[in-house]
Amino acid sequence: MSTENYTIISEFYLLGFNINWKLELFIFFIFFMVYISTITGNTIIIIVIWQSSKLHSPMYLFLGHFAFMEIGYTSVTMPKMLTDLVSGEKRIAVSACITQLYFFFVLGGIENYLLAAMAYDRYLAICAPLRYSTIMSNRFCHQLALMSWLSSITSSFIPIYFLNKLSFCGRNKIDNFFCDASPIFNLSCTDTTLLKTYFFSLLWTVVFSCLFFIILSYIQIIVVILKMPSNSGRKKVFSTCGSHFTVVILYYASVISMYVRPNHGYTFVFDKCLSVFYAIVTPFLNPIIYSLRNQKIRKAIKSFKCKYFIYL
């Protein structure tokens, strides 16, 4: 599209929730508490895993990486959103918007890889227990986690690099509280057909390949569970997989609903609700799920509290 008759814009306007200021202040208070709780919950998990020698196993090392990723994931969008709710400015530079999008999708990709790695860890522990300690050493665990970070960082750089080369003119309003991919593509006055195809093909490949691997792992786990003679053994296996399985369902249900669906028939309000769920609610729920459903985490947190208060 020609840009001769348009003024090149240098910033976007995030419409956010489009409500009166009293409701915005109320939402600010709710989301501020959610953000603090998310940061606190994931930080506690990291500290507890780091301090407790009983949790220095692959399963909890992955969980530590996952908690650290969640802190970054929620911090990419929420501080800007909270600031906009209070100040009412709701403006963001184009370069800052694209930077936010980059880190949002980098951390989203890391989440997919880590969930797949955690599923592989549970598969080995349940389906191949005699080989588990040989294969899933702490060193191999850290290598998998590092590969998750590097793969997402490098694969996301190429589409974001070309996205940064786009021109934006005329319209500058994004009907969301953060910079998502689709609105940025739609606001560009440059032809984005190839870039959009590549971007979403990469997103779908990461999401569905990791989800397929997770499903395959759980099919094998379920087969082993059904062959167990005792109910106590089944309950023990369910307790070790329950937290991860719950997080997988919450994450993929929201992401697939948001990005892997037809564009027609959905309102901006529906999209915004989904964005709130996978960008804010899910990171808030994850530390609660892991702490409530995991007995070792609960014991380690209680022990950490006792040591802390004694020290004070």
Q: Look at residue 168 in the predicted model and tell me its pLDDT.
A: 86
Q: Is 175 inside a domain boundary?
A: yes
Print the domain residue range for 67: 11-311
Q: Look at residue 261 in the predicted model and tell me its pLDDT.
A: 62
Q: Is 3 inside a domain boundary?
A: no
List, in sequence order, every beta strand (DSSP E) within 2-111. 11-14, 91-93
The predicted-structure confidence for 295-304, as pLDDT tens digits, reads as follows 777 777 777 6
Going by pLDDT thresholds of 50, 70 and 90, the confidence category of residue 312 is very low
Cβ-based neighbour number of residue 182 at 10 Å: 16
Q: Look at residue 151 in the predicted model and tell me its pLDDT.
A: 92
Cα separation, 80 vs 36, whole angstroms? 14
Which range among 5-19, 115-129, 213-227 shows the weakest confidence by mean pLDDT?
5-19
Q: Is 6 inside a domain boundary?
A: no
Is the confidence at residue 36, as pLDDT, over 90? yes
Dihedral pair phi/psi, residue 12, rounded to 5°: -105, 160
Q: Is 164 inside a domain boundary?
A: yes
Q: Look at residue 2 in the predicted model and tell me its pLDDT.
A: 45
Report if pTM > 0.85: yes
51 or 141, which is more confident: 141
Contact by Cβ (8 Å): 16, 177: yes
What's the CATH number where 68 sits? 1.20.1070.10
Above pLDDT 70, what percent of the chain? 91
Is the confidence at residue 238, as pLDDT, over 60? yes
The predicted model gives 23-37 an average pLDDT of: 91
Is the confidence at residue 73, as pLDDT, over 80? yes
Non-local (6+) Cβ contacts of 21 within 8 A are: 88
Total domains present in the chain: 1
Above pLDDT 90, what percent of the chain? 33
Q: To which residue do tokens 């840009």 refer? A: 3
Going by pLDDT thresholds of 50, 70 and 90, the confidence category of residue 266 is low
Q: Is 266 inside a domain boundary?
A: yes
Q: Is 1 inside a domain boundary?
A: no
Q: Is 190 inside a domain boundary?
A: yes
Contact by Cβ (8 Å): 213, 121: no
Q: Is 2 inside a domain boundary?
A: no
The predicted model gives 163-169 an average pLDDT of: 85
